[in-house]
Amino acid sequence: MSAPRKALLLVGSPKPGASTSESLGAYLFEELEKRGVATQTMHVAKAVRTEETVEELRAAASSADLIVLSFPLYIDSLPAPTIRALEVLAEPPVGPAAFVAICQSGFPEVDHNEVAVEICRHFAEDAGFEWAGGLILAAGGMIGGQPLRKLQGMMRSAIKALDLTAEALAAGRSVPDEAVQLMAKPPIPKIGYRFMANWGWRSQFKKRGRGGSLKDQPYA
C-alpha cells in the first residue's frame, strides 16, 4: 500500500450516540490528521438508510486511499447495518483502498472477535480492497463511549496500539504486529473486569429497570 492522502472512518456501531467504536476510530483518525492525512467519518447505520446515502457511502469509499471500519461485536459477528454496508461496497467492488478493521467487544478475551475480523478480511478481498490488518480490543466496556484521551492511563495499551497503527498507516504500511498485541492486552485482570461488569448490570437495572429481575423469563 502507498501512503494515504485521504482516509475514511466507518463507524460500525448502530448506537445513535457516543460509542466505543467511534472513540477508537476517532482517536486513530486524529493521529492520522496530525500526520497530514485528510479524514472523513461516516456512520454506517445512517449510510445504508436510503439509496442516496448508499451512493454517498460508495463515493466516499471510492475516493479514499484508506478505509478503517471500527465496529462492536454483535452475536460473534458484525452488526447487521455494518454487514449491509459491506454488501453495498462489494456490489460492485469499489476498491482499491487499503482496508483496516477494529473490532471491540464487552468480553475480556479477544478470541470472541477473531471470526468477525476474518469476515472483514474476506470482505476486503472480495471488494477489491487491500487488507491492511485488524485490531481487536477486549473489555470495551472500560471505554463506554468516552473519548480515549480522557481515559489515558487505564487505556494506555490501546492508545499506544493506535499510535503505532497511525504511524504505520500514514507511512503506507500495514497494522504492525506490536499494535495488534498491545490492543489485545486486557486493561485490567479478567476476573476484576467480570466483577465490575456484573456490578454494573445490577446497578443499571436498579436505575432503569421496570420491576422484576435481571433474570426474568418473559417467554417461559
Residues that bind other proteins in the complex, under the rule CB under 8 A = 13-16, 19, 45, 72, 74-81, 83-84, 86-87, 90, 107-109, 111-112, 115-116, 118-120, 122-123, 126, 190-191, 193-194, 197-198, 201, 204-205, 208-210, 212-220
Output 79 or 95, the one with its CB closest to other proteins. 79
Cell of 204: 443499571
Distances (CA, A) of 27 to 54, 112, 130, 152, 206: 25, 23, 22, 11, 33
Q: How near is the Cβ of 117 to other proteins at its closest, in Å?
A: 10
Name the residue among 141, 124, 140, 220 with its Cα closest to residue 183.
140
Q: How near is the Cβ of 133 to other proteins at its closest, in Å?
A: 16
Q: How near is the Cβ of 203 to other proteins at its closest, in Å?
A: 9
Output 5 or 202, the one with its CB closest to other proteins. 202
Name the residue among 187, 185, 186, 163 with its Cα closest to residue 175.
163
Output 152 or 220, the one with its CB closest to other proteins. 220
What residues have CB less than 8 Å from 59, skipping those under 6 apart? none
